[in-house]
Amino acid sequence: MANEELCLLSAVELAAAVRAKQVSPVEATRAVLERIERLNPKLNAFCTVTADSALAAAKQIEAAILRGDDVGPLAGVPISIKDLIYVKDMRVTFGSKLFEQNVVTEDTPLVERLRRAGAVIVGMTNTPEFGWKGVTDNRVFGIARNPWNLELTPGGSSGGASSAVAAGLGPIGIGTDGGGSLRIPGAFCELVGYKASYGRVPNYPGSGVDSLRHTGPLSRTVADAALTLDVIAGPDERDPHSLPSDSAKGYLASLDQGVRGLKVAYSPTLGYAWIDPEIAALCADAAKHFAASGATVEEIDVDWGNCYDVWGVFFYGGIAARIAGYPVEKRGLLDPGLQPIVEQGLKLSAVNYVNALVARNLFWQKVRATFERYDLLITPTLSVPPFAVGKNRPDLPAGPDGAELRWSPFTYPFNLTGQPAVSVPCGRTKADLPVGLQIVGRRFADATVLRAARAWEQIQPWAERRPVL
């Protein structure tokens, strides 16, 4: 099989071919590494490439296959890991000059599980410092670019992962999401960006924003996201908030059960969001066509209010807490946009934090009431299409709400609530830029969200589109 063809296989297809001895895991790994070597200088998606260890792992998997051993559901699949996640003996910088030479000594639980499942880790992907913003650049590695248009951002904070997957530098990129960091790059790069229920994938070690942090896959297909979740989900004693699976059959095996008969709400603004009219029209059209899945779709108004300020206490306060122990002169090494946010976070008191906890619970009660009436909620993923690299945010009409993320007003509420949410492609603007549709489920209902994403994928497929690089 030609290298190009190998690199564009889905994880499900590649793992099946490896187990059937139709494709060598070494051949597949070499193909992806060669593609990374050729394209990463344009994209800056990877900040660290681990060619030697990846090939060594692929050879071990190949030997196991020849012995007749069970090599796991991700056998021979090249996977990237965001540079915020611990990978043993790897340099993990968090995109920060403060950790530029940091080498970690243990795998996080999801990395352990990926290895046991036969995945081949090919490197670490670029991220903004501590994942603080929705675009991807930092002072250590520079700017990551969108494969669909190199002058545009791939989003963030898992932007290196989305750039890599969209460009065929491995079918799965593992990222994190504290306010939209899987769904934003999913929308900007025409991918599936899946944020599992809070705790479905264990968080360890702590990150400072753990009460908001979800870890999951970026992929080209819903099946690949479901397969990845089958591998990485489940409790771990190192994370007391981690959850068991909610799918007895497994997420991948349950995908085609569909969503017929479910009640689905569509909210175009969540009651407060500004949105580009072209994106609003595309998402409204997608919501209307979602009824072809057999679900009942109803447009609704919600009066939850904008929770940005509450979310910001946990997110920016968590990052500030991580920096608090460093002397003031070291803080000058931080991303210039992050510095004032850290200073503001350092001024928060215990009273501010407790008040935010109370407000978070009150917000959940409003959301809960909506989900008592509906099984799923559909919204736009973002208010804007991909914008130029080198900017932290696009230029928007003036407004009072959540300036830092006014262009992503639909994502952070569901980090506060911990609900499962996915961004799936739903069309293109007149300028041929990707647009995402967000599907949100009830608490813990990951299997339902993935089935809904799969139902939409069957209505309006996207995976055959490829950027030209």
**Model confidence band, residue 400 (pLDDT cutoffs 50, 70, 90):** low
Other C-beta atoms closer than 10 Å to the C-beta of 100 total 14
- pLDDT recorded at residue 401: 59
Instruction: Give the sheet arrangement for strand 421-428, strand by strand.
Output: 46-49, 120-125, 78-82, 172-177, 214-219, 192-195, 421-428, 434-441, 376-380, 263-266, 296-299
Mean pLDDT of 460-467: 95
Mean pLDDT of 89-116: 97
Q: How many CA atoms lie within 13 A of 88 on its CB side?
A: 11
Tokens of 397: 């009409």
d(CA 438, CA 412): 12
pLDDT, mean over the chain: 96
Let me know if domain 3-255 sits in CATH 3.30.420.40. Answer: no
**Model confidence band, residue 177 (pLDDT cutoffs 50, 70, 90):** very high
pLDDT digits (tens, 9 = 90+) for 238-293: 999 999 878 778 999 999 999 999 999 999 999 999 999 999 999 999 999 999 99
- pLDDT recorded at residue 328: 87
Residue 320 has pLDDT above 90, yes or no: yes
The partner residues of 78 in beta bridges, in order of sequence, read 120
Q: Which of 10, 24, 80, 82 is catalytic?
A: 82
**Model confidence band, residue 325 (pLDDT cutoffs 50, 70, 90):** confident
The string of DSSP letters for 124-156 reads EE--SGGG-SSS-EETTTEE--BTTBTTB---S
List Cβ neighbours of 22 (8 Å cut-off, separation of 6 or more). 1
Instruction: List the one residue out of 284, 300, 295, 282 whose CA is nearest residue 453.
Output: 295
Residue 443 has pLDDT above 90, yes or no: yes
d(CA 156, CA 167): 16
Mean pLDDT of 42-65: 98
List Cβ neighbours of 228 (8 Å cut-off, separation of 6 or more). 11, 74, 172, 174, 194, 216, 217, 219
How much of the chain, in percent, has pLDDT values that exceed 70? 99
**Catalytic: 181?**
yes
List Cβ neighbours of 178 (8 Å cut-off, separation of 6 or more). 131, 157, 209, 212, 213, 214, 315, 415
- pLDDT recorded at residue 3: 84
Question: How would you classify the pairing of strands 296-299 and 263-266?
Answer: parallel
Q: Which of 24, 80, 163, 181 is catalytic?
A: 181
Residue 315 has pLDDT above 90, yes or no: yes
Residue 402 has pLDDT above 70, yes or no: no
pLDDT digits (tens, 9 = 90+) for 56-76: 999 999 999 999 999 999 999
Residue 208 has pLDDT above 80, yes or no: no
Query: Can you give the pTM of this predicted structure?
Result: 0.97
**Model confidence band, residue 196 (pLDDT cutoffs 50, 70, 90):** very high
pLDDT digits (tens, 9 = 90+) for 425-436: 999 999 999 999
**Catalytic: 21?**
no
How much of the chain, in percent, has pLDDT values that exceed 90? 92
- pLDDT recorded at residue 245: 78
Question: 309-318 in b/e burial notation, b at 16+ Cβ within 10 A?
Answer: ebbbbbbbbb
- pLDDT recorded at residue 207: 77
Q: Which of 10, 24, 80, 157 is catalytic?
A: 157
Tokens of 234: 């489940």
d(CA 386, CA 341): 24
pLDDT digits (tens, 9 = 90+) for 117-157: 999 999 999 999 999 999 999 999 999 999 999 999 999 99
